[in-house]
Chain A
Amino acid sequence: MVSTQQHNIQLNEQGRLRHFLTIEGLKRDLLTRILDTAESFAALPGRPVRKVPTLRGRIITNLFFENSTRTRTTFELAAKRLSADVLNFNVSTSATSKGETLLDTLRNIEAMHSEMFVVRHNQSGAAHFIARHAAPGVSVINAGDGRHAHPTQAMLDMFTIRKHKGDFTPLRVAIVGDVLHSRVARSQILALNTLGVTEVRVVGPRTLIPTDARALGVHVHHDIESGLRDVDVVIMLRLQKERMAGALLPSEEEYFRLYGLTNERLAVARPDAIVMHPGPMNRGVEMDSEVADGPRSVILQQVSYGIAVRMAVMSMCMQTHADSGESA
């Protein structure tokens, strides 16, 4: 056990979360602890003061090499609700475009006593790279790297599912759409299987499902009706417009006709099935507005829960510095 933990850069010697880079290699207990911790923070919006003093005086840096206003904003809000100070580095408009290397940028921000980096990058493995080179006492959270992982999105999805369904064990979950290019789907599949659901299905055209999908522990469906039959949870993925230009897909209309989620299609799922989407959503492409705004949609709750889950991960990583006697 110790040896596997030593190989997992995300955990410290006590097996506690130091960085949060991927769901891979994390055990069910730890994922459950993240969800439990997030429960405390999910109650905050109901209070007159919507923050806790936990990380007062600490500095958290959003290091975004890829634009994403929405994700950056939820991380920023999560940090502020923990009373941390937040630096936002939009690196495409910052020093790297002047020739500074990534590691120089990192050292500079570390010199400002930032103890946590929230990293978004279009290259898979970027957050791992920064975690490997970060000073002791500095934590890295992956806010999406290339096609690889988006673990906080997956955990907020798990939190949303648990809020609605309670126990993961009996659940059948369908993930519909562009699984091939989706870091969200990869992280969701790992999280769902680690948390012990009955079945994970991926549903989509052959061109958008990885050829080795079965190795991820999923059932593959190319027909949406068979894919949605009797599921408890439907997770729709965003179809990135840039994929439309290539040969992977015929057209938006054709995609919607074959894979778009409508109330009629949803009728084969369980009557209490919930519908999720990581956003931003293309109405009339992945999903009919009637479904998106309908009673089974929990899409806006996902956004609120995202802040609580990110607070949980941030506070747990910061705690680990204490265990190791590290400080920045």
Chain B
Amino acid sequence: MSDLHIFMQHDAIIDLIDGMARVLKNRLQERGIDNPAVIGIHTGGGWIAEHLHRRLNCGDPPGLLDISFYRDDFTRIGVNPQVKPSRIDFDVEGRHIVLVDDVIQSGRTIRAAMNEIFDFGRPASITLVCLIERSGRQLPIQPDVAGLRPPLQLDEHIRLNGPEELRLEISRSRQPRNNGDR
């Protein structure tokens, strides 16, 4: 791994989240959804979910998913050493869910997250929000709302750091990355 550079700093990311919240509100309004519940994917998606949750004035606390045990590549990757319990403190059954992640690439994380959500109950709908939408999709899953679509090469990796000071970093790996993990 080399060539690490900062792509975006905290204030700009917050502006981006403000914009995403506006688009999301409109999108939800168009669909006639007035009381959505927010779920973030651990870790970066959880941070963005907290920010969006405040802007949406949702009643229920945001849920957090750790999809480690739902990954389709578990036998190759194994348990994340920092695995956290998933936590959803509201009834998923019949709810309109806003699912939040930091970066969507292959779409596999979102697939795993949706599988896990359905183990909590059958939601009325899921709206997908991602801070960064990048190329490399391997599944037919697209975000409904995306903050930014930066043109990235396949060997470039974008990562959100936080949670106090949010920062997007881009690094370039010498070998093409196995991009099956997002």
**Interface residue ranges, A against B (CB under 8 Å):** 16, 33, 36-37, 39-40, 42-43, 47-49, 51-55, 82, 315-316, 318-323, 327
**Interface residue ranges, B against A (CB under 8 Å):** 66, 68-70, 74-79, 81-87, 93, 115-116, 118-121
Chain B residue numbers with a CB within 8 Å of A55 are 74
Closest CB pairs A-B (n = 9): A319-B78, A49-B119, A52-B69, A54-B69, A40-B85, A43-B85, A322-B76, A39-B85, A322-B78
Chain B residue numbers with a CB within 8 Å of A53 are 69-70, 115
CA distance A232 to B174 in the complex (A): 54
Number of A-B contacts (CB under 8 A): 62
Nearest to B72 among chain A residues (CB) is: A53
Whether A323 contacts B84 in the complex (CB less than 8 A), given A49-B119, A52-B70, comes out as no
Contact indicator B69/A40 (Cβ below 8 Å): yes
CA distance A320 to B119 in the complex (A): 26
Contact indicator A318/B75 (Cβ below 8 Å): yes
CA distance A322 to B75 in the complex (A): 5
Whether A40 contacts B84 in the complex (CB less than 8 A), given A48-B119, A316-B79, comes out as yes
Chain A residue numbers with a CB within 8 Å of B93 are 48
Whether A315 contacts B120 in the complex (CB less than 8 A), given A53-B70, A54-B74, comes out as no
Contact indicator B86/A320 (Cβ below 8 Å): no
Chain B residue numbers with a CB within 8 Å of A320 are 78
Query: What distance in Å separates the Cβ of A191 from its nearest Cβ neighbour in chain B?
Result: 19
Query: What distance in Å separates the Cβ of B122 from its nearest Cβ neighbour in chain A?
Result: 9
Nearest to A56 among chain B residues (CB) is: B74
Whether A40 contacts B66 in the complex (CB less than 8 A), given A48-B120, A321-B75, A323-B78, comes out as yes
Chain B residue numbers with a CB within 8 Å of A36 are 82-83
Chain A residue numbers with a CB within 8 Å of B79 are 37, 315-316, 319
Contact indicator A42/B119 (Cβ below 8 Å): no
Contact indicator A40/B70 (Cβ below 8 Å): no
Contact indicator A43/B86 (Cβ below 8 Å): yes
Contact indicator A40/B83 (Cβ below 8 Å): yes
Contact indicator B77/A322 (Cβ below 8 Å): yes
Chain A residue numbers with a CB within 8 Å of B86 are 40, 43
Chain B residue numbers with a CB within 8 Å of A327 are 75
Chain A residue numbers with a CB within 8 Å of B119 are 47-49, 51-52
CA distance A16 to B78 in the complex (A): 11
Chain A residue numbers with a CB within 8 Å of B70 are 52-54
CA distance A327 to B76 in the complex (A): 10
The one of A16, A40, A321, A323 that contacts B68, using a Cβ cutoff of 8 Å: A40
Contact indicator B83/A37 (Cβ below 8 Å): yes
Q: What are 14 inter-chain pairs, A to B, with CB distance below 8 A?
A: A16-B78, A40-B85, A47-B120, A48-B120, A53-B69, A315-B69, A315-B74, A318-B78, A319-B74, A319-B78, A320-B78, A322-B74, A322-B77, A322-B78
CA distance A133 to B84 in the complex (A): 35
Nearest to A36 among chain B residues (CB) is: B83
